[in-house]
Amino acid sequence: MIEAQSLTKRYGAKTAVDSIDFTVRPGRVTGFLGPNGAGKSTTMRMIVGLDRPSGGVVRVNGKAYVRHHAPLRQVGALLDAKAVHPGRSARHHLLAVAATHRIGAKRVDEVIGLTGLEPVAGRRVGGFSLGMGQRLGLAVALLGDPATLILDEPVNGLDPDGVVWLRGLVRRLAVEGRTVFLSSHLMSEMAQTADHVIILGRGRVVADAPMSEIVAGAEGDSVQVRSPQAEHLTPLLEAEGATVSRAEADLISVTGLAAARIAEVAAGARVVVHELTPLTRSLEDAYMALTRDEVEYRTMQTSPEVDR
């Protein structure tokens, strides 16, 4: 369990984390989302004592991280997978970390197995790919068999097989009753992995709810309709109560009317339709709506005037 109360981090005049409160509960996967610079990494670093809060507190399994006598047995963290000695083999790195907590070689071999590192366990870590480095970071996080896991962008660098494997591992850890807190920028991946979501925007919590609620709160389902007579079809659909927005000359997005009814209206007016695609709500839609005003580094749109 992770509990943050009025947790704050300032860097000079910049408030990276602005008096946030949240609880990450055991037995489920909690996703941590937010635009670049929202304060996710800073929050995770404070949870594991790598950054000291400017205000407020954060407890892991009831205590501040630094107050735990054997923190690796309480909290496993994957924050910076590259922070390992490049000359050591993966197995030696794990043995060295294990020794700090009197964890034996048996457990080292177990986590090597759990993270699929057997084929490379004897190789120098310096030659590892990003994906192998992530697996090693996970192996370190799992060493102490901790009740709480904090994983910052764990899918980073994993190949598609690795992503599926990680999803299964993370789900299993939660089913075992552990607290799993993970950040990712990959919405579709997060939608498949997390049960609960906390979204940060500019250092504040903008949403903290079950995944199903977050997705259900997104704007309504829409239907994408491609037709060479889109202009003719639009008022007919609006007369049926639909809201229509035009994406391209022959492409409209229709909300408030089922795909079947759209097809009937089009057929009734002898309008040719080339495509009719119902689009369901997604975590990405909900996320975009919730963070629309919270983006610190927004991609600048080049205005047509500047182009000319």
Ligand X SMILES: Nc1ncnc2c1ncn2[C@@H]1O[C@H](COP(=O)(O)OP(=O)(O)OP(=O)(O)O)[C@@H](O)[C@H]1O
Select the residue interacting with ligand X from 13, 14, 69, 248 (CB under 6 A).
14
Q: Which is nearer to ligand X, 34 or 76 (CB)?
A: 34
Question: x/- binding map, residues 38-77, to ligand X, per CB under 6 A?
Answer: xxxxx-----------------------------------
Q: Which of 34, 53, 146, 201 binds ligand X (CB under 6 A)?
A: 34
Binding mask 287-306 for ligand X (x = CB under 6 A): ---------x----------
Q: State how far the alpha carbon of 28 is from the alpha carbons of 170, 195, 222, in Å.
A: 9, 6, 31
Interface with ligand X (CB under 6 A), residue from 2, 4, 7, 16: 16
Task: Give the nearest distance from C-beta 207 to ligand X in angstroms.
Answer: 15
Residue 162 Cβ, how far from ligand X at the closest point, in Å? Answer: 20
CA dihedral sign, ordered 83, 162, 24, 107: negative
Q: What is the DSSP string of 92-111?
A: HHHHHHHHTTT--HHHHHHH
The closest alpha carbon to 181, from 300, 79, 267, belongs to 79
d(CA 67, CA 59): 10
3-state secondary structure (DSSP) of residue 23 = strand
| Phi, psi (degrees; rounded to nearest 5) at 138 | -65, -40
Q: Which is nearer to ligand X, 51 or 145 (CB)?
A: 51
Residue list 89-118, contact with ligand X (CB under 6 A): none
CA distance 201 to 208: 12
String marking each residue 156-175 x if it binds ligand X according to CB under 6 A: --------------------
In terms of CB distance, is 89 or 156 closer to ligand X? 156
Q: How far is the CB of 12 from ligand X (least distance, A)?
A: 7
Q: Which residues have a Cβ under 8 Å from the Cβ of 288 and sit 6 or more positions away?
A: none
Q: Which two tokens stand for residue 214?
A: 């977050």
Count of residues interacting with ligand X (CB under 6 A): 12
Tokens of 234: 């639009």
> Is there binding between residue 211 and ligand X (CB under 6 A)?
no
The one among 22, 28, 37, 146 contacting ligand X by CB under 6 A:
37
Q: What angle do CA 91, 136, 84 make, to 5 degrees?
A: 80
CB of 181 to ligand X, least distance (A): 13
Cα–Cα distance between 169 and 181 in angstroms, integer?
Answer: 13
Residues in contact with ligand X, shown as a per-residue x/- string from 239 to 278 under the rule CB under 6 A: ----------------------------------------
State the nearest-atom distance from the C-beta of 143 to ligand X, in Å: 25
Q: Which of 273, 237, 277 is nearest to 257 (CA)?
A: 237
In the chain, how long is the greatest CA-to-CA distance? 77
Kindly tell me which of 6 and 212 has the beta carbon lying closer to ligand X.
Answer: 6
Q: How far is the CB of 183 from ligand X (least distance, A)?
A: 7
Question: Using CA atoms, how far apart are residues 54 and 67, in angstroms rounded to an integer?
Answer: 18
Pairwise CA distance, residues 206 & 163, whole Å: 27
* Interface residues toward ligand X, by CB under 6 A: 11, 14, 16, 34, 36-42, 296
